[in-house]
Chains A and B, each alone.
Chain A
Amino acid sequence: MNHSLTLGLRAMRETLRTPDSLVPTLLIPLFFLVVNIGQAGRIFPSDDTDFLNGQNYAAFQLPSSLLLAASFGGAALYLVEEIEGGYFDKLRATPIPRMSIVLGRLYAEFVKSVGITALMIAISLALGVRIESGVAGFVLLVVMVSIWAMVFSGFMQLIALKTRSAAATQAGGLVFFPLLFLTPNFVPRNLLTRPMEVAATLNPVTYVMEACRSLILDGFDATALGKGAVVIAAAGALMLGLSVRLINRYD
């Protein structure tokens, strides 16, 4: 725990020293947000679209952008650089639990995501979005997205540990990408075409997105939040279990 924090602080220092790496994480999701609102905003006017609860379309789109920003897996790219460069072995030569090396990076990823998520929500407030669930809902939204960012980059770190190659890790991230879009990211699930509805229903990311959206549009919806929490907890447990296995057997 202690060592994970020490390594987490070091990973944060690393991020702060490479601020350039934050630019795409922030700009690409904002770009999609603005473009999607611009293109679909007139199809879904706020006073005439049921699922918007009186808000504008940006409120509906925001969760997709937040989850996109949480899915860059920056931690894994630093990790693989460290494996390729050999510094990883120097850390492995110390008497710390192997898992702290993974956890340290995940903690830093959480902090980074809190900053980015809060900033993106602040920007969308300026675009007229309101958080129906209030300040407590805002905090919950930021925490939920940031834990998801940890889980996602944890899976990317698994690829990094397995392949030990930067190119493979980047390519591996693309495998997860469809999961972000096989979701009800433009309209609610019941308005999707049948095949898409099935895909979205099977896709766990859907429930994280719907939980986030419920905080923005509806207030506190126990069912939606519960499903989101279960998905995040299950994915997190799987990621941690696999990480422990992989890093303890790293050879």
Chain B
Amino acid sequence: MTNGQAEHPSAIRAVGLVKTYRGSTGEIEAVRGVDLEVRSGEVFGFLGPNGAGKSTTVRMLTTLMTITAGSAHVAGVDVAADPDGARHKIGVALQEAGLDPRQTGRELLTLQARLFGMSSSEAAARAEELLELVELTDAGDRRIKGYSGGMKRRLDLASALVHRPDVLFLDEPTTGLDPASRLTVWAEVRRINQLGTTVFLTTQYLEEADQLCDRIAIIDQGRIVREGTPSALKDDLARRRGDGTTPTLDDVFLDATGRTRVQVDGDVKEIQA
């Protein structure tokens, strides 16, 4: 990296990110000025209620969607100016694990590796390695159509890793999984992170964020309303409450997203906490 970020190796840096959707019913401001700074090697959690703008942010950071305003660098690469450069450094598993039901797991991973520029023998070896990593070796030669939800999630995770990305984006990686599969995914995320990959994950599960994440940010209606380590956020709330009770991350989440809003004429207005 030659752009002077070497002293502060930040894996993700977003400044003033805005996304406006233009639909038939007018404009929707899904993300309204998000600043993010994720350090290299972190597991960063991105939390927020339904429709808060998590997936939209992930799509902008991973070059899948244009940025209306603001800028974003991932692994030092400007995602808007050099999307292909960024794609080499980014792995992404989206919320709807989009897989091709007519291919086998192995074929899907091999194809993905080929598209990242590997030779066919390299791609085959990488597919084998990844099937092992996500424990799908036995199912590798079956069509994806017959996979369970958990198997699809794990395959999706594997496919995000084919090119050994520096930064891995996971949009709700455990939604819809049974408790055992969830633990498997957590273990995999930890293992991937220990190998040096920065992980940015969105989740609806506060426990997941508490267990996995070094730092979290909470987004609500397109704006970041809290940011910090889980314990710092809990401490902060305990101090503000001042009643001696120990808040959970759930309390932090509700405080950040619930009490800062009031319904006015069916229109949601923001009030500063």
Which one of A3, A13, A14, A89 lies within 8 Å of B98 (CB-CB)?
A: A89
What number of B residues sit within 8 Å (CB to CB) of A?
A: 29
Report how far A6 CA is from B103 CA in the complex, Å: 14
Q: Closest A-chain residue to B59, C-beta based? A: A89
Q: Which of B35-43, B113-121, B134-142 contacts A (4 or more CB under 8 A)?
A: B113-121
Q: Which of B86-94, B216-224, B232-240, B261-269 contacts A (4 or more CB under 8 A)?
A: B86-94
A93 at the interface (CB under 8 A from B): yes
Report how far A87 CA is from B62 CA in the complex, Å: 15
B84 at the interface (CB under 8 A from A): yes
Are A87 and B65 within 8 A (Cβ)? no
* Chain A residues near B63 (CB-CB < 8 A): 92-93
When A and B form their complex, which 3 residue pairs have the shortest distance between CB atoms, in order from nearest? A86-B98, A94-B115, A95-B84
B102 at the interface (CB under 8 A from A): yes
B100 at the interface (CB under 8 A from A): yes
Q: Is the interface of B mostly helix, strand, loop or mixed?
A: loop
Are A93 and B92 within 8 A (Cβ)? yes
Are A82 and B100 within 8 A (Cβ)? yes
* Chain A residues near B117 (CB-CB < 8 A): 95
Query: Which of B85, B102, B117 has the most C-beta atoms of chain A within 10 angstroms of its own C-beta?
Result: B102
A141–chain B nearest beta-carbon distance, Å: 31
Q: Which of B64-100 contact A (CB under 8 A)?
A: 64-66, 84-85, 87-88, 90, 92, 94, 96-100
B257 at the interface (CB under 8 A from A): no
Report how far A208 CA is from B66 CA in the complex, Å: 40
A95/B98 contact (C-beta < 8 A), A10-B103, A251-B65 known: no
Q: Which of A1-21 contact B (CB under 8 A)?
A: 3, 6-7, 10, 13-14, 17-18
A-B contact pairs, 9 of them (CB 8 A): A7-B111, A7-B115, A13-B102, A13-B103, A85-B96, A86-B94, A87-B100, A93-B92, A95-B85
Report how far A92 CA is from B115 CA in the complex, Å: 10
Are A94 and B98 within 8 A (Cβ)? no
Could you list which residues of chain A lie within 8 angstroms of chain B, going by C-beta atoms? 3, 6-7, 10, 13-14, 17-18, 82, 85-96, 251
Are A6 and B111 within 8 A (Cβ)? yes
Are B114 and A6 within 8 A (Cβ)? yes
* Chain A residues near B87 (CB-CB < 8 A): 93-95
Q: Closest B-chain residue to A16, C-beta based? A: B102
A9–chain B nearest beta-carbon distance, Å: 9
Are B99 and A87 within 8 A (Cβ)? yes
Are B116 and A95 within 8 A (Cβ)? yes
* Chain B residues near A17 (CB-CB < 8 A): 102, 143
Are A90 and B98 within 8 A (Cβ)? yes
Q: Closest B-chain residue to A14, C-beta based? A: B102
Q: Closest B-chain residue to A9, C-beta based? A: B111
B204 at the interface (CB under 8 A from A): no
B159 at the interface (CB under 8 A from A): yes
Report how far A61 CA is from B186 CA in the complex, Å: 63
B248 at the interface (CB under 8 A from A): no
Are B90 and A93 within 8 A (Cβ)? yes
B229 at the interface (CB under 8 A from A): no
A76–chain B nearest beta-carbon distance, Å: 16
A92/B96 contact (C-beta < 8 A), A10-B103, A14-B102 known: no
Query: Which of B63, B97, B103, B111 has the most C-beta atoms of chain A within 10 angstroms of its own C-beta?
Result: B111
B181 at the interface (CB under 8 A from A): no
* Chain B residues near A88 (CB-CB < 8 A): 98
A145–chain B nearest beta-carbon distance, Å: 26
A90/B88 contact (C-beta < 8 A), A6-B114, A95-B117 known: no
* Chain A residues near B99 (CB-CB < 8 A): 85-87, 90
Are A96 and B98 within 8 A (Cβ)? no
A86/B64 contact (C-beta < 8 A), A14-B102, A95-B84, A95-B87 known: no
